[in-house]
Every structure is written in structure tokens, then in C-alpha cells.
Amino acid sequence: RRFNAMSLARRLAEDDWTTKDVDENDDLDDDLVSVADTNETLATEELTADDTAESLQRKRRPGKNYRNQLMLSEWLMEIPDNLETEFLLKLCPQGKRVLVVAAKGITKTFDRRGRCIMTFPSELPGGCRQFRAGLTVLDCIWDTSSFHTSLRFHWLETNFVESAPNVCRRTPKNRHPFLIVESHSCQRECLAEFLTLQPPFPLDGVLFYHQRGAYTFGHTSLVGWLKPYMLTEVLGLPCHQHYSIGLPADYQGWLVDVERFEATRRQMALAYSQDRQLRRQQQQTRSENSHSMVD
């Protein structure tokens, strides 16, 4: 049975996880998620091109908390045959991935580990006292001074401002503006023109979204990820010089660089896991010593 996305949104808004129709998500690797809050490249399972958002939802369930609710991309290891017709490109700003929940007259942001990192009023539906009847759940990039929403759905681009006209401006009721990251066609002539322009903000990477892929939690092969300096090699198109920022001096190609990133990720995950295990052992030892003293 597929989980009810609207029911999940209400639980996120109400912080209510007592009912049983949202199963525990045991498939995501907590150690990997915890060491890379801003890294889009973590992969905890192998997915094929035949995996759809619907089949992924049947395989996995979101957790009963604010952790692991964001959709994560995978490295774009090869160019899909239908890239030009079925995919959209979005630039990903530098910053921290956060889950934004506006409900009951307040707006809260949660990091990928589910920790609440900021609470403030906003003019999102449900985000302040004047709009407390609404409900909004967003996937965003936090750049410390404002939020750039990293969202895919056409509804947002056409109705976002109409639903919350002041949400893109800084006002007393909306201290942190929300801006939609524009999507761009992946048709070759469109990409060739777009990539010669200077990016509008410092980049962390570039995302390739399958147009028919529904938003789902966890990693999905329906969203590809590349570092900006990889675009010229992968797409065979010239890019503005700003896309070369961050190019390693020893760069040997995008596939080699992907393996370098993955090796670093595995080392970080192993180190984190070992450190957490050590802390648990130390805590258990202290607890046993305390019990011995009481006896």
C-alpha cells in the first residue's frame, strides 16, 4: 500500500506520528545522511532507469519524524536518451538543504537530520497568524540570509506568487523571502544558449529533473546531479567561465571525479559510524560503572 502524501504533509505540519498509515522508514542509511547535509550525491541503494516514483514509494516509507523527508539526487553517470524531451535543468545554489513547514501560524525549518534550526513568521499559507489556516511544506536551500526554493512543479512557477503575493519580498511578516529556482529546457539549443550566461548565484551543482517524476523522499534516479565544472565534458557544450569555479587542479574527467567524491563520502560515513559506536560504548561503560557503584 502506498503512503498518503497529503496525510504525511499534515503530520509534518502537526508533528503527529501516532497513526499507523505512515510506516517507519528503515531503508535509509542514517550515518550517510548525517555527514552530508548539503551533499546531493549520497547513494544508499542502486536504482535502475525503470524505477518510477510510484514504485519507489511502494518500496520505502518516510520516517515518523522530520528526518529523511527530502528528495535526493544521484550522480548523472550517463546522458539519458530522452534528456532533451523529458528532463528539466535547475541550477542549485550553495547552501544548506532544509525542510520548511508552515502551519498553525508559524514557519519552521528542519535540517536533513530532522533538527529544527529556525522558527519565524512568513507569508506562506499557514506561516503566520494572518494565514494560520493554510499549510505549506517546501524543500529549500538556506543561504543564511534568505531561502532559495529548489522546487520542480509547474504549479509553483505559475501560482506560487498568486497564493502568497508577498512571500518573495522581505517584509515585517516575511523576514526570510522565498524565491523559486527557475527550470530550463534541456533541448540542446536552449542549453547551449543558457550555459553561456553567467549563473545568477554561486553554484553548488546542477540538477536534471525528469518531468514526469513525482516528488518522493530519499534517493531517486529521476533526478541527476553534476558539479558545474563537469557540464562542458558531459554535455559537450561550452559554458560560462563561472561554471569552472571549483575545478580541481588534477581533474581527470567526470567519472574519475565522481569516484573521488564517493570515496570521500564512504570514508566520512565510516569515520562517523565508528565515532558513534565508540560514544555508545563509552556511554554503556559509564552506565555499567554507575550501576556497580549503586550496588
**Secondary structure in 3-state letters for 24-52:** CCCCCCHHHHHCCCCCCCCCCCCCCCCCC
- Could you read off the pLDDT tens digit of each residue along the chain, which spans 295 residues? 345 666 777 777 677 666 654 444 433 333 333 333 333 333 333 333 334 444 434 444 445 577 778 888 999 999 999 999 999 999 998 888 899 999 888 899 888 888 888 888 888 888 888 877 788 888 888 875 444 433 444 456 556 666 667 777 888 877 888 888 888 999 999 999 999 999 999 999 999 999 888 777 788 888 999 999 999 999 999 999 999 999 999 999 999 999 999 999 899 989 989 998 999 998 888 887 776 665 5
Q: Report the predicted TM-score, pTM, of the whole model to 2 decimal places.
A: 0.65
Give the residue among 73, 24, 118 at the shortest CA–CA distance from 213.
73
CB 33 within 8 A of CB 22: no
Domains and CATH numbers, the chain: 5-288 (3.30.470.30)
Q: Which residues, at least 6 apart from 294, have a Cβ–Cβ distance to it below 8 Å?
A: none
Instruction: Tell me the residue type at 231.
Output: L
CA distances from 30 to 36, 80, 126, 216 (A): 11, 30, 30, 17
